[in-house]
Amino acid sequence: MRILAIGVVLSCAAVATACSKSSSENGGTGGSGNTGTGGSGNTGNTSTGGSNTNIGNCSVFPGDNPWNTDVSAFAVHPNSDNFIDSIGRATTMHPDFGTVWDGAPIGIPYVVVPGTQPLVPINYVAYGDESDPGPYPVPPDAPIEGGPASDGDRHVLTIDADNCVLYELYRAFPQGGGTSWDADSGATWDLTIHDTRPVGWTSADAAGLPIFPGLARYDEVVEAGVVEHALRFTVSSSQNGYILPALHYASSDPNPNLPPMGLRVRMKAGYDCSTYSAEAQVLCTAFKTYGLIVADNGSDWYVSGAPDSRWSDENLADLGNIPGDAFEVVYTGDVQTY
Contact 283, 216 (CB under 8 A): yes
What whole-number distance in Å separates Cα of residue 169 and Cα of residue 228? 25
User: What are the angstrom distances between the C-alpha of 3 and each of 17, 104, 116, 299, 311?
Assistant: 13, 29, 28, 20, 29
What whole-number distance in Å separates Cα of residue 255 and Cα of residue 238? 8
Q: What is the mean pLDDT of the chain?
A: 88
Contact 251, 238 (CB under 8 A): yes
Task: Give me the pLDDT at residue 80, please.
Answer: 98
What whole-number distance in Å separates Cα of residue 150 and Cα of residue 142? 14
Q: Which residues contact 81 (CB under 8 A, 6 or more apart)?
A: none
Kindly state whether residue 24 falls inside one of the protein's structural domains.
yes
Give 53's pLDDT tier (boundaries 50, 70, 90): confident
Task: Give me the pLDDT at residue 51, please.
Answer: 57
Task: Indicate the range of 12-16, 99-103, 107-111, 288-292 predicted with least confidence.
Answer: 12-16
Kindly state whether residue 259 falls inside one of the protein's structural domains.
yes
Kindly state whether residue 206 falls inside one of the protein's structural domains.
yes
pTM: 0.87
Structural domains in the chain (count) = 1
Task: Give me the pLDDT at residue 26, please.
Answer: 39
What whole-number distance in Å separates Cα of residue 142 and Cα of residue 232? 22
Q: Show the domain range for 213.
A: 12-330
Residue 292, pLDDT > 80, answer: yes
For residue 129, give the 3-state DSSP assignment: helix
Contact 240, 255 (CB under 8 A): no
Kindly state whether residue 313 falls inside one of the protein's structural domains.
yes
What whole-number distance in Å separates Cα of residue 293 and Cα of residue 262? 6
Residues 45-72, mean pLDDT to the nearest whole number:
79
Kindly state whether residue 1 falls inside one of the protein's structural domains.
no
Burial annotation 130-159 (CB, 10 A radius, 16+ → b, else e): bbbebebbbbbbbbbbbbeeeeebbbbbbb
Closest by Cα among 154, 294, 150, 162 to 231: 294
Kindly state whether residue 68 falls inside one of the protein's structural domains.
yes
What whole-number distance in Å separates Cα of residue 123 and Cα of residue 133? 8
The sheet that has 292-297: what strands, in order across it? Answer: 94-96, 302-304, 231-235, 292-297, 264-267, 327-330
Torsions phi, psi for 130 (to 5 deg): -120, 20
Residues 28-55, mean pLDDT to the nearest whole number:
44
Percent of the chain having pLDDT more than 90? 83
> Cα–Cα–Cα angle for 165, 198, 227, nearest 5°?
50
Kindly state whether residue 5 falls inside one of the protein's structural domains.
no
For the chain, how many helices (H) and strands (E)?
4, 16
